[in-house]
Chain A
Amino acid sequence: MKTAVVVFPGSNCEHDVVYALGLLGADAELVWHRETDLSEFDGVVLPGGFAHGDYLRTGAIARFSPVMAEVERMAQASLPVLGICNGFQILCEAGLLPGALVANRDLRFVCRPVHVLVEHTDSLLTRAATPGQVLRIPLNSYEGNFIAPPDVLATVEAAGTVALRYCDAAGVVDESTNPNGSTNSIAGLSNAAGNVAGMMPHPERAIEDILGSSDGTVLLESYVATLEAGVPA
């Protein structure tokens, strides 16, 4: 089982993702955004960074990179597709995940460890985690504020596909524990099928105790487990 990690011009977390997935036993390989054939891969990760300089809107130009036709094909084929930070923004722009990510509530770049509460566990991001589990993972974004029109938000909440919400160390979710103003404190979510997911914090930066936390491991383990399980028959 092999996963692609896409490199856009301006990506900057791709090596961290390959390293982290490698620690978990996955065969992860970097793929340039101009690649048009990902048929040898069983899953794909869109890593963090500033693809195409974040010009126009974050992810707006990246969603038309040649590789995205393959990312869409894999999403349709029930293969795991994970977007982290800028990758999450790209998946939203591509319409593979609902909503959009805009400037943080306080108009400040937030770069610090935050806590997230695991909610929905039927996704490639949270499969190995436990509902109610609190994870400490670095957040590193200016446009991390999740918004969606009321009808889209209602659909997401009714489907129960919110995987992670911002919280404090005790797991309390409210405006005081929301670092960027995200609607309903949404930090990560999946599509209804659970094979496409995105999150703003960086699990690949919390995979060894020397980094201050290894709480991101369980999320990437979920991805690797999904990859190894293959497409459900």
Chain B
Amino acid sequence: MRFRVNITRKEGLSDPEGVETARALADLGYDEVGEVHFGRIITLELSGHDAATATARITEMCERLLANPVIEDYTIEEIE
């Protein structure tokens, strides 16, 4: 099974890359763009678990290592 973890900065916390990119998009004339937020995608290949157990294990991995729960949120999706 393959899973994709999407990690993003918690809303309201400083995201300098997002701010700079929003500015650049505005300079290019994309006036419809408001806030821009960056994140990180991590793809994990797991074996030996059913989907529910795998998701629980990945949640634990996110809490302990993959994300920093102090400043980041994350979502987990099964991709195949």
- Residue from A61, A93, A98, A181 in contact with B16 in the complex, judged by beta carbons closer than 8 Å: A181
Residues B71 and A147 in contact, CB atoms below 8 Å apart = yes
Could you count the A-B residue pairs with CB atoms below 8 Å apart for me: how many are there? 46
Contact B12 A57 (CB under 8 A): no
The reply on A103 being an interface residue by CB < 8 A is: yes
Please name all residues of chain B whose beta carbon is closer than 8 Å to the beta carbon of A3 when the two chains form the complex. Answer: none
Residue of A nearest to B19 (CB): A105
Query: Interface size (B, Cβ < 8 Å)?
Result: 13
How distant is A142 from chain B, measured CB to nearest CB, in Å?
11
- Does A183 sit at the interface, judged by CB under 8 A? yes
A84-125 contacts to B (CB < 8 Å): 92-93, 95, 98-100, 102-107
Check if B14 sits within 8 Å of A183, measured CB to CB.
yes
Contact present for A60 and B13 (CB under 8 Å): no
Q: Which residues of B contact A193 (CB under 8 A)?
A: none
A interface footprint on B57-80 (CB within 8 Å = 1, 0 otherwise):
000000001101011000000000
Q: Given A60-B65, A64-B65, A107-B17, A100 and B12 touching (CB < 8 A)? A: no
**Chain B residues near A60 (CB, 8 Å)?**
65, 68
Q: Does B10 contact A (CB under 8 A)?
A: yes
Contact A149:B14 (CB < 8 A) given known A60-B65, A64-B65: no
- List 7 tightest A-B contacts by C-beta distance, closest first: A100-B71, A147-B14, A103-B16, A105-B16, A147-B13, A100-B70, A107-B16
